[in-house]
Structure 1
């Protein structure tokens, strides 16, 4: 009987966690939508810019795969980001025929400043946790992001 109760409790708590993740996702999406409007970028453009800022230079095709958009869509994204001065295209040092996209650091600060309020709010939230608890949460979020990447890859393979 105890095993059944544990299973129900786990299912209930897991369901609540998933609902809270959806809420966090919605709030971050809304914030990013407001930021993209403020800096006059489309949402997908901001997503690609953030990906390059986090993960470093990438080819247009690699970026398209990682963010799950069609290469033709990526062409428009790259053109808009380059025209706006957000990114630069450079020849790949290993393959002169290939292009690598990188963020123009002097431009990206404008975007990140719009997240200062959220970052301050997160600092206050984190202050309530011990370093060990924060490490546990960080590991959980890393594993969750990995699960999301796998889900995106599986979804993209179906296209």
Structure 2
């Protein structure tokens, strides 16, 4: 098969598998959220908050999630009612309110992830170090492009360019 035809075939297959991958992830996220009796966006917000090293403002949550500040406020309201986060005045700047996760509730989510992680770890063990490095690079670029695409969609921009190769 000529190189150009092979590339075209691979790109077509990549398009199909990417759609399956995104759908599978969305459905998996929904199932985990349902299991925890959370909205999928709330679950992913808690995931992102667990990666932050300090309490954050609702504005930062809007940045992390790509939500408007109003939507982020409603999300924090739901998480606070569910006992997953608390709001506290910033001692350095009393005008700011910081959102902090509740360790006991985060531990409940952690227990679910712990049960699921073994299968994921086993799947990644099949890859050599160079393949794992490629997966990491792909995931980082996907996160960057997703953020650009979310912004473009919200601003009504028809298309954006993806991040370059790292």
Q: Which range, TM-score by smaller chain?
A: 0.7 to 0.9
Does residue 126 (structure 1) correspond to residue 124 (structure 2)? The answer is yes
Q: 1:83 to 1:10 in 2, by over 3 A?
A: same
Q: Which runs of 5+ in 2 are unaligned?
A: 158-166
Cα distance per residue 1:48-68 (max 9 Å; x no partner): 111211234331122123322
**What TM-score results when the alignment is normalised by the length of structure 1?**
0.82
Q: 1:58 to 1:22 in 2, by over 3 A?
A: farther
Report what 1:111 is aligned to.
Answer: 109
Cα distance per residue 1:78-114 (max 9 Å; x no partner): 1110121111222234432111222222211211322
Q: Which runs of 5+ in 1 are unaligned?
A: none
Rounded to whole Å, the distance in 1 between the matches of 2:23 and 2:45 is 18
Rounded to whole Å, the distance in 1 between the matches of 2:32 and 2:135 is 26
**What TM-score results when the alignment is normalised by the length of structure 2?**
0.79
Listed as ranges, the matches of 1:133-144 within 5 Å are: 133-144=131-142
Aligned length: 156
Q: Which moved more, 1:59-68 or 1:137-146?
A: 59-68
Rounded to whole Å, the distance in 2 between the matches of 1:11 and 1:94 is 57
Moved >3 Å (runs of 4+):
none
Q: 1:95 to 1:153 in 2, by over 3 A?
A: farther
Structure with larger RCO (C-alpha < 8 A, sep 6+): 1
Q: Secondary structure at the match of 2:98?
A: strand
